[in-house]
Amino acid sequence: MLSSFRLLLLRNPSSSYRSLSLLKNQAYVDGKWVPSTSCETFAVHNPVDNAIITQVPDMTIEDTALAITSAKSAFHSFRKTTAKERSDLLRCWYNLMVQHSEELAEILTKENGKSLAESRAEIKYGNSFVEWFSEESRRINGEILQAPLRNRKLMILKQPIGVAALITPWNFPHAMITRKAGAAIAAGCTCIIKPSEDTPLTALALAKLAEDAGFPAGVINVITTSLKNSATVGKLLCESPDVRALSFTGSTPVGKILYEQCASTVKRISLELGGNAPFIIFEKSNVDLAVTGAMACKFRNTGQTCVSANRFYVHNKKFDEFIDKFMERISKDIKMGDGSREGVTHGPLIKSSQVDTVEKLVNDAVKKGAKLHCGGKRLEDLGPLFFAPTILTDVDETMEICGKEIFGPVAVIHRFDDEDEVVRMANSVPVGLAGYFYSEDLSQIFRVAGKLEVGMIGVNEGLISCAEAAFGGVKESGIGREGSSHGVEDFLDIKYLCIGNIQY
């Protein structure tokens, strides 16, 4: 029987799919492309029109156990590689990612829906982590300590922790893998990657490039699962004693479940969870700069990022000016549609449940008295999952949208007068991933930066993440940091070595 992918080519021979040599429809375990042992598959859809791109294996806990065995076996030899060998391997993987950047971007756009411009930016951003960790692998050093006794030598060794399970989301299917896997491999760990059921094709494309780069069998494994099997597969990765580290990016409720499941094996865990980022515009700010930052920070990936500006707080004296200029930029700069088409800047939301949630929140707010400045509705002429860029003001605590992480193209904008008041509002939620504020008052910049309860802050800047910086949050936004020199720490054990009775 012909796969749905081949049928699509026969029906549409001009399709750009013909050039996508990295589009794989099998899982990758122990250096082999394999189906599920159950022979079951699930469809991967293009969110623009819900068309099926291809089918991929629906891996079970039996398949996952095989992947764990593969990664554990590979670790015994891979842990002995030198930092230079791992650096070269990562560099080769990076070079292939750069070489195939356009194809990776096309696959990403097909399964995620974001525009090609945004996909290209993500590929470049995601590639940078592999480049960074190819260099960082050679900077994982131990320590020589000053001994309290003359006949002793004390040292600290840093060693790879073991098999690492990496559970990644759909909103950045390339960058979330490279940011985790680059660090794990640099440390000398082997990996089992479980991508989102919505966007597994990018993960499989990265596995193909890792295979081409010469990664030993079992060092990188990719298991694809439908929503039906996702929870049981995730539970096995958490509870298996052969998996020694788990890194997850996703929602706070799911992160809490995984955290609890990892307790049985006292596993090293890294969690990058939900955010609800405040975006504050103070009286002494450049409104034009703030609007530019708000456009990037709020509407990137159609508002579906964990660091998206979610709660806008604008000083009364800047409020009307900001609203007017923000609306003008939305009207001028945003063109929604099929992300693969020229000139389109923003695509659909990822699934129907997300559109339903956003619509419900907006309708509830408007019904209860919020002012709708623009948007507020589905764009069904574009497709089933499009929602118009929306601005709401006069939102109060009676409305469900107030203080909620929206994960859509909706900006809720509040007024404020007092610095202490707005900091209190910004800190009023249980999460603390990112925060943004605009001010040209140097004293205020340092005051507010010190008070905001978040792990990352953009001051007069709306896009802040890069490979060199530590990415992560505080409170219920997670544990650990990704990227930067700190990114390898979750994949390393520290071993203290005391050599005594040395004769001089």
Please list the active-site residues: 272, 306
Contact between residue 366 and residue 372 where contact means Cβ atoms under 8 Å apart: yes
Residues whose CB is less than 8 angstroms from the CB of residue 292 and which lie 6 or more positions away in sequence, other chains included: 329, 462
* b/e map 247-266, b = 16+ CB within 10 Å: bbbbebebbeebbebbeeee
Q: Is 306 helix (H, G, I), strand (E, B) or coil?
A: coil
φ, ψ dihedrals at 342, nearest 5°: -60, 135
How would DSSP label each residue in 257-308? Answer: HHHHHHGGGT-EEEEE----EEEEE-SSS-HHHHHHHHHHHHHGGGG-STTS
Residue 456 host element (H or E): strand 456-459
CA dist., res. 279 & res. 434, Å (int): 9
CA dist., res. 460 & res. 465, Å (int): 14
Where are the alpha helices (H) located in 388-470, listed in sequence order?
419-426, 442-451
CA dist., res. 504 & res. 493, Å (int): 32
Would you give the end-to-end CA distance of the chain in angstroms?
77
Q: Is 349 helix (H, G, I), strand (E, B) or coil?
A: coil
371-374, strands of its sheet edge to edge: 371-374, 390-393, 410-416, 309-315, 277-281, 434-438, 456-459
Contact between residue 265 and residue 240 where contact means Cβ atoms under 8 Å apart: yes
Q: Can you read off the two tokens belonging to residue 134?
A: 């190819």
Q: Can you read off the two tokens belonging to residue 240?
A: 């298996």
Contact between residue 191 and residue 184 where contact means Cβ atoms under 8 Å apart: yes
How would DSSP label each residue in 318-331? Answer: HHHHHHHHHHHHHH
* Displacement of CA 97 from its chain's centroid (Å): 18
CA dist., res. 149 & res. 459, Å (int): 49
What number of other Cβ atoms are within 10 A of residue 284's Cβ? 15
The DSSP secondary-structure symbol of 310 reads E
Where are the alpha helices (H) located in 12-139, listed in sequence order?
61-78, 83-99, 101-112, 116-136
Q: Which amino acid is at 24?
A: K
Q: Can you read off the two tokens belonging to residue 398?
A: 């009676």
Q: At what angle do helices 116-136 and 83-99 cross, to 10 degrees?
A: 160
The DSSP secondary-structure symbol of 470 reads P
